[in-house]
Chain A
Amino acid sequence: MFNLSELENDALVEVFNIGVGQAASSMSGIVNETVRMSVPSISFMNRADAGRMLAGGPDLAQERICGVSQNYDGAFRTEAILMFPEDKSLEIVRLMVGEAVPLKELTEMEQEAMCEIGNIILNSCVGTLANIFQRELQGSLPRYHLGTSDEILTATGSQDDTVLMLHIDFVVERQQIHGYVAFILGMSALHDLKDQINQYIARAMGQA
């Protein structure tokens, strides 16, 4: 399985923390409450393992997850998916929208709200990555998914098999919610990522 050195990992985690930090700033502007987001850790795994991990256990494999996905293309290609377990998604919507609604009744309007939240967070993460790597990308509008973890991870039919998984801690109104961002990447994108991280570190160290 693809992996990074400790230093490369540290750099990437820091980049994502900056990304979600800026997203949190945006979101706090929307709800007028303090919003904190951080990425405590990242890991690389194949899609099957990612599905299992997100399901949280074999008996929970059929539990539904709410996901918002966006495609990115250009300097590298990836599908990025923000995911929360079903009950946590409604917490997020409730916190952001200020209403208590059962998820089965999540109306189109509230799905749209979830899409915007995904749009803010994913654009922030990928944007920071693109800036630091000084690369140009283009992105798509967000799409809403509700299904099992396997269904969501295979929704686009991408053949790429490696998942860069970000663990996300999300805190609003003293409520802490744990979610995930998954980047589905192919081999060449992964090696490109590793290269770019090293160049970034070298540039900062005045060595490039």
Chain B
Amino acid sequence: MSNIQMDDSKTLWQRWQRNAQRNPDREAIVHWVAGEEPTRWTYKNLIETAKKYSVKIKEAGIKKGDVCAIVMHHNPMFYPLYLGISRAGALPAVLAYPNPRLHPDKFRQGIEGMAQRSGLDYILTERELDPIIHPLIEKPGSTIRSVFFPLEWDIKKDIDPNADAEIEQIALSVKETDPILLQHSSGTTGLQKPVVLSHRAILNHVKNLGSALKLSEKDKIASWLPLYHDFGLIACFQIPLAYGITTIQINPFEWVLAPILLLEVITKEKATLTCLPNFAYNVLAEKIHDEELSEISLASLRAVINGAEPIRHDSHQKFVEKFKKYGFNPLALSCLYGMAEVTLSLTIHEPGKPIKELAVDRNELSRGAMKLADENSVARICVSSGRLIDGCSARIVDESRKDIADGLVGEVAVKSVSMFDGYRNYPEKTAEVVENGWYYSGDYGFRYKDEFYIIGRKKDLIIVAGKNIYPEDIEDAMNQVEGVIPGRVISFGEEDEQMGTEQIAVVAETKAEDDKEKNTLRMDILKAGMAIDVNIHKVYLVPPRWLIKSSAGKPSRKANKERIISREDKQVWSR
């Protein structure tokens, strides 16, 4: 099986077109909807339809360099629309479609925050969101110029050759160093960091990650990951399209209701690769009845790549135990570590070999050193995230950003040929994390025998089922809850071993005394979380002045988390 050779395309549009010329009838995207015949986009059809959309984009007044936020459900027309925006030289930015539990005001505030930060120019969405989004256009100082409903555009007619030629000229004027897309980190108003990636960054990444994965013409990637997430967008959309292979896209909303969908897709389409955040291994292994799996075969899989949240040994074990009788090869387990700031991946474990795992002394590790566990140790199993991919360098550094020895725990600093061009309109934030070309990730880990082990985070970010959540967003919402002492609340991630992910805990000071009052307050806290589409898993209520303050005078997340978890305290009410 031959590996695919990259050509000299300078932009993604050029690459996609060449793929369509080389293999016009090959399936580019299989759009999967449960219980229906999938929509199958060949490379030829995809490009032809993308051209039609690019004409509509131009007619709508969207110009080269404009940022187009796409907020759409799982829809087969999303893909040519995305490519069409890119052909017109504009920058697509995929945003999550609002969950019904998210309060419309919060959704609007989120879009407004993103618009102010990233300078969103246009929103391409569905009609039902118009009442929520439209007021933003009229707001003084808004960057959003218009809202469009591309699913209503008539693209049946043949394309006007003159318009097509004009747009092709625009596409040809795009340079490899020009931005291709904007990727937003999680968070609400003001906290999102818009990552700008160039054509060159993505093409470099596609080449280097694809080569580490030994992608070949026969590979097919199955994915349920949302395309507003870099793991979904880069690994399961950009990479297969740039390589000219097939991606099968499952509706993320359907997958969470029926996880078996992914296994059916792998079986029916003979997919060879898939990407999963850690919690999905637990869900697939433990939440599907065996009698539903009688027709499932995972024998075609040569790589199941774990990423987007900390990798847990137990989750891999459960997955292998469950699926080896369905043809799953344990050597197909793989994992990667990275971040949107380097396009996606810094390290990867090469599929086909066992993943390295180290049993280390937990106490020594918490003191900052990796020591292999002995009979006296309380052991923690650290799972390797693999080795550096080509084009990437990494250092492990101390708090003053000086290199430290292998086996010592420090912050991961990264340099890559696929580095981002900074956070859009946010030079002060970029300067905080980039110094002399090195991106300081805020993740803690160690290097051992050229493999990287990620064990924690300097930042207080919470990762629930692969989704990054800022504690500040939760605390802001909790501060508005009547009964919570304003400014006296923290939130943090608490390990949920059963689900293989973190869950959100809130600690709030309150004057509430009896159980009834506290239960009412807990419900109000849960509802405040719902309004920002966050599920508060556990509420801890504590009396006034209980929370430990940091030197800056604010309640410390780290110290209070340790206090809550490590000690029994009769003053703490929890549920």
- Is chain B found bound to chain A in the same assembly? no
